[in-house]
Amino acid sequence: MKKIKLNLNIDWKSKIIDLLIVIIGITIAFKLNTWNESMTNNLEAKHYIESFDDENTHNENNLISAIEFSESNKKDIDSLKQILLTKKYTDDRIKVFAASMMSLANYSPSVTTMEDMTASGEFKLIEDIELRKRLIDTYNSFVVTLKLESLLSDYVNKYVTPFFFENVRFSDFSSIHSDFIKAPFFENIVFGYGVLLEQQIRGYQDNLDKIRLLKQKLTAAKNIDEQ
C-alpha cells in the first residue's frame, strides 16, 4: 500500500494574525456599542435633569404665590379672631375679613417629568443616588401638601359655605336672618379655619424647603454635565 502524504505546511503565523484581527474587531465593535449606549443614556439623563429643573422652578414659583396668598389670608383671619375675642362686633372690617374665608390658594404642582420617567422605567438613568432621593422626597411632599390643601377646602365646603348661604347675603355680605357675627357657631368656624390655614401654610413652607434643596442638587448635576 502507498502511504498518503499530508501537506501540513500551515502558515500558523498568518492564521493567528487573522484570529487576532477578528477578536480585536469584535472587541472594538462591542466597545463602540457600549460607548454609544452610554452616550445615549447620558443624553437622556441630561434631558431629564433639565426637565426636572424647569419643572422644579415652575413649582417653586407657583408655591411662592400660594404661600403669599395664604399668608395674606391668615392676616385677615388673625385680625378677625382678635375682633371676635374682644367682642368688637361693630367693627366694619368683620364682613371683609369673613369673606376672605371663601378664597383659597390653589397650588397645582407639575409632576409630568416624574410621571414620564417612572412610566418609562428610566429612573435608573439618574446615577446620583442623593439626587434620586431628593427627587423622590420632593415629589412625595406634593401629595402631603395637596392633602392639607384639600382639608381646608373640604372644611370650607362643609362649614363655611353652608353657614354663609344661610345667614349672609353675598351681594353685600349683610345678615339675612340675624346678626351672624355674634353667633358662637360663626366664631367656631373662624377659629377652625385659622387652625387649618396655619397647617396648610406650614405644609407649603416645608414643601418649598424641599423644592429649594432639590434645586441645589439639580444645579450641581447640570454643572457637572456642562464640564
SS (H, E, C) 44-101: HHHHHHHHHHHHHHHHHHHHHHHHHHHHHHHHHHHHHHHHHHCCCCCCCCHHHHHHHH
Residue 64 contacts residue 103 (beta carbons within 8 Å): no
Burial 59-79, CB ≥16 within 10 A → b, else e: bbebbeebbebbeebbebbeb
Give the residue-averaged pLDDT of 5-20: 65
Q: Which amino acid is at 113?
A: T
d(CA 227, CA 224): 5
pLDDT at residue number 95: 86
> Structure pTM?
0.80
pLDDT at 5 over 80: no
pLDDT at 2 over 60: no
pLDDT at residue number 25: 73
The full DSSP string for the chain is -PPPPP-----HHHHHHHHHHHHHHHHHHHHHHHHHHHHHHHHHHHHHHHHHHHHHHHHHHHHHHHHHHHHHHHHHHHHHHHHHHTT-TT-TTHHHHHHGGG---------HHHHHHHHHT-GGG---HHHHHHHHHHHHHHHHHHHHHHHHHHHIIIIIHHHHHHHEETTTTEESSS-GGG-HHHHHHHHHHHHHHHHHHHHHHHHHHHHHHHHHHHHHHHHHHH-
pLDDT at residue number 22: 74
**Per-residue confidence band for 211, with pLDDT thresholds at 50, 70 and 90:** very high
pLDDT at residue number 154: 96
Residue length, the chain? 227
**Per-residue confidence band for 74, with pLDDT thresholds at 50, 70 and 90:** very high
Cell of 13: 503565523
Cell of 38: 452610554
pLDDT at residue number 10: 64
